[in-house]
Amino acid sequence: MFQPSQHDVRRFFCEAYRLQRDGLPLTPMQMPAADWINQHPEYHDDLADEAAALAAVLVALVLKPRRNVTRARLSVAGALANYRIVFANPRTKLLYGLVVIEGLLLFGIPAYVAAILFARSGVGPAEAGLVIAGMGFGCLVYGLMTRILVERLGPTLMTRLGGVVCAIGLSLFAFDWVWWSAIPLFALQGFGFFLLHGTFQAQATELAPAARGSAMALFACCFFLGQATGPLAMGAAMSVLGTPIAILAFAIAIALFGYLTPRILPVPRSRT
C-alpha cells in the first residue's frame, strides 16, 4: 500500500494549488484537493511556499479551524491589552504565584534522579529515565480517572489529596530502596501532580474569557519558571541539609502546599 511521507503530502498540495492558480489541467486525484484549497483561501499564501504548506495542511485537517472568523493580527499592543485584561482579575496574581511554587516543589527532584540512583545502586541513565517516566504513567492514570475524581472529590479535595500523594511518593524516595522501586514512587508523584495541576489549569482558563489564550500563555510561563527554578532550590537544599533530609523537606512542603492552597485561593464549588 502506498504510504506518502510528509514531504509527499506537502508537494501534492503545493502542486495542486500551483496548477489551479495557473489554470492548468488537474488530475482526478488533485481535483478534491483543489476544491479543499478553494474553501480555505487563508492558506493560499502558505501553499505557495512548500516549507509552510505542511503545517497549514495539518492545522486545517487536524484542528479544523472555523471558517469566516475574523482573527486579530498579532501585535505588541494587542498582547499588552490582553495582559491587562488578564491581570484585571484579582485572582490572577495569586494563581500564577501558586503555580510557580508548584513547579518549584514538584520538579526540583527529577534533575538529580540519575545521580542519586547511581550513588545508591550504581545504575545508569537508562534506569533513571525509566524512573522519571513513572511520572508519565501516573499522569496517564489520572487522565483515565479524571471524570470520576472531579465528580466524587471536587477541586478542593483534589488539591489536598494531590499534595498528600506527591508527598508520599517523594518522601519514600528519600530512602535507599532497590532502584526499580522508585518507578511506582514517581508514578505516585505524577498522579498527585495532576490532581494539583488540573485544578490550577481549570481556574486559569476562567481568569479572562475574553483573553483566554493570553491567560493560558502566562500560566504556562509561570509554571515553567517554577519548574526551571526547582532544581536550583533542590540543589541548594541538598548541599546544606544532605540529600535525604532535603527530599523530605520538599515532601513536607508539598503536603502543606496542597493543604493550604484551597484556603489561599478558594475554588468556586460550581467549577472544576
| Per-position DSSP letters for 66-108, written without gaps between them | PTT---PPP-HHHHHHHHHHHHTSTHHHHHHHHHHHHHHHHSS
Q: Would the CA dihedral through 43, 44, 49, 50 be positive or negative? A: positive
Question: What does the pLDDT look like over 198-244, one tens digit per residue?
Answer: 899 989 988 988 888 899 999 999 999 999 999 999 999 999 999 99
Please tell me the predicted confidence (pLDDT) of residue 172. 95
Buried b (16+ CB within 10 A) or exposed e, 68-85: eeeeeeeeeeeeeebbeb
Average pLDDT over residues 38-50: 72
pLDDT higher at 35 or 120: 120
- Specify the amino acid at residue 68: N
Please tell me the predicted confidence (pLDDT) of residue 244. 95
pLDDT of 49 > 70? The answer is no
Average pLDDT over residues 95-102: 95
Q: Which residues contact 212 (CB under 8 A, 6 or more apart)?
A: 205
Question: What does the pLDDT look like over 170-198, one tens digit per residue?
Answer: 999 999 999 999 999 999 999 999 999 98
Query: By the 8 A CB rule, do 267 and 203 touch?
Result: yes
Q: Which of 230, 161, 159 is nearest to 200 (CA)?
A: 159
Q: Which of 203, 205, 204, 190 is nearest to 142 (CA)?
A: 190
> How does DSSP classify residue 49?
S
Q: How far apart are CA 117 and CA 134, in angstroms?
A: 15
pLDDT higher at 132 or 54: 132
